[in-house]
């Protein structure tokens, strides 16, 4: 895991972090991790499939001719 040092943090900001951490029942360090995680990795992040679909839509979409499967699995016997 990486280590991050924040220099020149104003005292009032540090006190506010400590108060917020206490309100959430965690350490100041854990609170900072939670804040950073929420800031750079939002919950509503798009997945790769959504990104690809949006890219295809920007060109008017893509139509695929997908034939039906004919190689379906057969019955399994455990005899």
What is the residue-level pLDDT of the chain in tens, covering all 79 positions?
Answer: 899 999 999 999 999 999 999 999 999 999 999 999 888 886 676 688 888 888 888 888 778 888 888 877 778 888 8
Count the alpha carbons within 13 Å of 43 in the hemisphere toward its beta carbon.
2
Signed CA dihedral, 47, 53, 58, 59: sign only: positive
- Domains in the chain: ranges and CATH: 11-57 (1.10.1220.10)
Predicted confidence at residue 61, as pLDDT, reads 79
Predicted confidence at residue 27, as pLDDT, reads 96
């Amino acid at each position: 895991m990486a280590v991050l040092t924040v220099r020149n943090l104003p005292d009032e900001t540090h006190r506010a972090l400590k108060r917020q951490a206490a309100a959430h029942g965690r350490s100041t360090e854990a609170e900072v991790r939670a804040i950073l995680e929420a800031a750079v990795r939002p919950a509503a992040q798009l997945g790769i499939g959504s990104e690809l679909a949006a890219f295809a839509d920007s060109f008017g979409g893509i139509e695929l001719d997908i034939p039906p499967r004919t190689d379906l699995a057969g019955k399994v016997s455990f005899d």
